[in-house]
């Protein structure tokens, strides 16, 4: 159900939702969670490569964010602020597992020859192709999981979440040119791995909606004591 402004009948702005959330308004908190769930989950999963751990990381990030909303100064978009909390939480989990940290920041990327673009677009699914698309999605998610860390996180941000070059560069502390290079190389690696087996369904990868989305909202609200 859409949350509407009492007087205008229009959905409240993010600023209004944040003000309500700061006052521990459950409906506003749920609305903000629904707005950002998919992006945060995909970013966390890009780092952790585990559905369960990604979900746990996002939940913990929400709890930190909603119990410390006073720390949000509006210097960046609320979604960017949340994304940084999630990324830090995910990296912290890697440290606890004593695994090599994901290399997200600038490094010495070197081109490896001509990069062939790998167009990834979504068409409206045909009911008769649902099962085939599910199989393709499984192949795609597996191939994305196997990408080098820096390429995988950039691809998820740029292609799956459709973030701009500038947003991605800011989020991962990269130069815009490095974001472009990593994206091209990630596409080339996916093309090599999947060849003609994949259809135009990448924006449906790693779904996080429906019951899973509501479960996340329920868990955060419950832990906030609302």
27-57: pLDDT as tens digits:
999 999 999 999 999 999 988 988 999 999 9
Please check whether residue 150 is in contact with residue 102, taking contact to mean a CB–CB distance below 8 angstroms. Answer: yes
Mean pLDDT of 65-86: 91
pLDDT of residue 207: 73
pLDDT of residue 40: 95
pLDDT of residue 132: 59
Q: Name the architecture of domain 127-204.
A: Orthogonal Bundle (1.10)
- Measured CA to CA, the distance from residue 28 to residue 21 in angstroms comes to 5
Mean pLDDT of 163-177: 91
| 68-77 tens-digit pLDDT | 999 998 888 9
- Measured CA to CA, the distance from residue 152 to residue 46 in angstroms comes to 6
Residue, of 16 and 193, whose pLDDT is higher:
16
Task: Tell me, rounded to whole angstroms, the distance of Cα 80 from its chain centroid.
Answer: 11
pLDDT of residue 2: 45
> Vertex 45, ends 42 and 50: CA angle to 5°?
145
Q: Where are the domains of the chain?
A: 14-101+209-223, 127-204
Pick the CATH number of 14-101+209-223 from 1.10.1740.10, 3.40.50.10260, 1.10.10.10, 3.90.1150.10: 1.10.1740.10
């Amino acid at each position: 159900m859409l949350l509407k402004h009492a007087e205008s009948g229009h959905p409240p702005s993010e600023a209004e939702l944040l003000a309500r959330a700061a006052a521990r308004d459950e409906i506003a908190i749920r609305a903000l969670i629904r707005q950002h769930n998919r992006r945060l989950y995909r970013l966390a999963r890009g780092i952790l490569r585990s559905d369960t751990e990604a979900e746990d990381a996002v939940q913990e990030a929400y709890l930190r964010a909603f119990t410390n909303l006073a720390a949000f100064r509006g210097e960046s978009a609320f979604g960017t602020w949340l994304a940084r909390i999630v990324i830090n939480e995910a990296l912290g989990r890697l440290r606890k597992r004593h695994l090599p940290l994901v290399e997200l920041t600038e490094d010495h990327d070197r081109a490896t020859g001509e990069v062939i673009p790998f167009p990834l677009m979504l068409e409206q699914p045909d009911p008769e192709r649902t099962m085939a698309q599910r199989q393709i999605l499984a192949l795609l998610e597996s191939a994305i999981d196997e990408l080098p860390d820096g390429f995988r996180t950039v691809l998820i941000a740029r292609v799956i979440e459709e973030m701009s070059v500038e947003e991605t560069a800011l989020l991962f502390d990269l130069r815009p040119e490095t974001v472009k290079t990593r994206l091209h190389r990630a596409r080339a690696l996916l093309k090599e791995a999947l060849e003609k087996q994949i259809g135009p369904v990448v924006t449906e990868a790693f779904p996080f909606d429906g019951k899973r989305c509501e479960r996340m909202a329920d868990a955060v609200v419950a832990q906030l004591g609302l």
